Amino acid sequence: MKKNRISKNWINKQRRDIYVRQSKIEGYRSRAVYKLKEINDKFKILRNGQSIVDLGGAPGSWSQYLSSTLKNTKLLAIDLLEIQEIKNVKLMKGDFTDDIYKQKIKSFFNTKIDLVISDMAVNTTGNKNLDAIVTGELAMESIEFAKEMLKTNGQFVTKIFMGSSFNEIVSESKKYFRETSVFKPPSSRKDSKETFLISKFLRS
């Protein structure tokens, strides 16, 4: 009963949401695309010729955006869920924290890369504090992975949630990157604890 009420609220919210409508008009699979666009407008992280990993890429709007706007890029998206085909994007279905997949990603690029982006989130439990902790652990895993994958001066973007591990992730970023910013894109829902960490210029 309670679950039905929650999903009805969710459907009503989606119907009213201008970003959902806009994403349908523009042919994107998710409203999440506007968060990446807004991050890029402010921090200029995307450039032609980059090699980029999209962690937690399903259903695929971030990779759709990268593939359609950038030239001469090498792109890989991984998710626990299947991602429908996207032109010029290598897709992987698996858990990125699993060493086998980390290795597969490394072999695909076979060299250090320019950018790691992560919009990963775990299935929410409804308990916002618990969700923030588990997603915080994922963000910590992804920053570790970014350090291994990135070239000197490489960049990293991850979703993080305001919560207990927030300060730890921000200070980890400051240790390894010369510029660290926290930004909540205008299209990120106001009632969500979600925000984004933008880490630029990996130290050598």
Ligand X SMILES: C[S@@+](CC[C@H](N)C(=O)[O-])C[C@H]1O[C@@H](n2cnc3c(N)ncnc32)[C@H](O)[C@@H]1O
Under the criterion CB under 6 A, does residue 105 sit at the interface with ligand X?
no
Binding of ligand X by 96 (CB under 6 A)? yes
Torsion of CA 41, 183, 60, 46, to 10 degrees: 40
- Could you give the angle at the alpha carbon of 34 between the alpha carbons of 29 and 200, nearest 5°? 120
**What x-and-dash track marks residues 132-161 binding ligand X by CB under 6 A?**
------x-----------------------
Q: Which of 82, 72, 154 is nearest to 117 (CA)?
A: 154
The helix (H) or strand (E) run that includes residue 155 is strand 150-161
Rule CB under 6 A: say whether 185 interacts with ligand X.
no
Q: Which stretch binds ligand X (CB under 6 A): 7-15, 66-74, 95-103, 150-158?
A: 95-103
Q: Is 79 in the site for ligand X (CB under 6 A)?
A: yes
Q: Both tokens of residue 59? A: 């259903």
159 catalytic? Reply is yes
Q: Is 116 in the site for ligand X (CB under 6 A)?
A: no
Cβ neighbours, 10 Å, residue 193: 17
Positions that interact with ligand X (CB under 6 A): 29-30, 32-33, 56-62, 78-81, 95-97, 119-122, 138
Active-site annotation, residues: 159
